[in-house]
Chains A and B, each alone.
Chain A
């Protein structure tokens, strides 16, 4: 059982790590789960598809254990497809447009406020041009593709975490299924 001292330390640590405190941090973290929905392992592409594909994997083997592993394989496969589709869409978009997000007029909201405050009171605000901070894309196809990948590396690092997880789930289930299903 934890001592009084440990309990007090736990309470103190809990207070120290109780999530974001600033309103910007709270706003950002509130969207974490909604950002891409990739933390869900169960796909919403339809149970009917999962069942059909699972039966396809087990073939004539109607063993319930094999079928359960096959369902896991299919669910993980659908996750993999979803993540790869997302990566592909991002690549296509950046390859064509050079950026994921629209170009901004200001780097931060405080810079925007400063700018507005600096404008004369008698006339309307003269907004500056929108600027793409990542600069122009190369025109050569190979160079453009490489630059696309480079610009997307931070997003891909995050997506690859989910891809790795889905891949491992699929491989594990596929290994178990392979022990039960023979050709």
Chain B
């Protein structure tokens, strides 16, 4: 294969969708693990393998983001909850309380006491965070399902092809034996 074709192959077929703030080392590790598992036999299987790597990388990324998105929504969820437990506080005060809840132990304790007074605890903040990000999470879950389905389909394609080739080879081999056997007779 000449250099131009090799370059084209690298840039047009096996180009990873790695983001600049993502770890190249982790990507390589995942790529190596999947390649070891599949052991692609030719360029077609290489293409399938690279598609699986891409999908798996995105799956890992989205799963990580899902928990982060809920975490990020906790501030907003506190801002939504606080007016109910601190009815006399103004908007600015609520905002200040919500921000400091994450870093200031005293504020945290104070808010938790107020929450307990209405039979709630810190988990109410998480529930509210989950509720407010449900649309985003649903959207991500839909993509995740799509990627998982895609990965399984590719694995099946590789298996089917290998099984088909094995049957064909088996037939060819068996046919040869029959001819040889017939010759002996």
Contact = CB atoms under 8 A, between A and B. Distances in A.
A36 interface: no
A160 interface: yes
A132 interface: no
Interface in B74-116: none
Contact of B21 (A45, A141, A147, A160): A141
A81 interface: yes
Interface stretch (A9-17, A19-27, A50-58, A113-121): A50-58
- Chain A interface, >50% SS class: helix
Interface of A: 45, 49, 52-53, 56-57, 59, 73-74, 77-78, 81, 84-85, 87-88, 91-92, 95, 138, 141-147, 149-150, 153, 156-157, 160, 164, 167, 171, 174-175, 177-179, 181-183
17 contacts: A53-B8, A53-B9, A57-B43, A84-B17, A88-B17, A142-B64, A142-B68, A144-B21, A145-B19, A145-B22, A149-B62, A150-B65, A150-B69, A150-B136, A160-B143, A181-B44, A183-B42
Interface of B: 1, 4-5, 8-9, 12-13, 15, 17, 19-22, 41-45, 47-48, 51, 54, 61-62, 64-65, 68-69, 71-72, 133, 136, 139-140, 143, 146, 150, 153-154, 157, 161, 164-165, 168
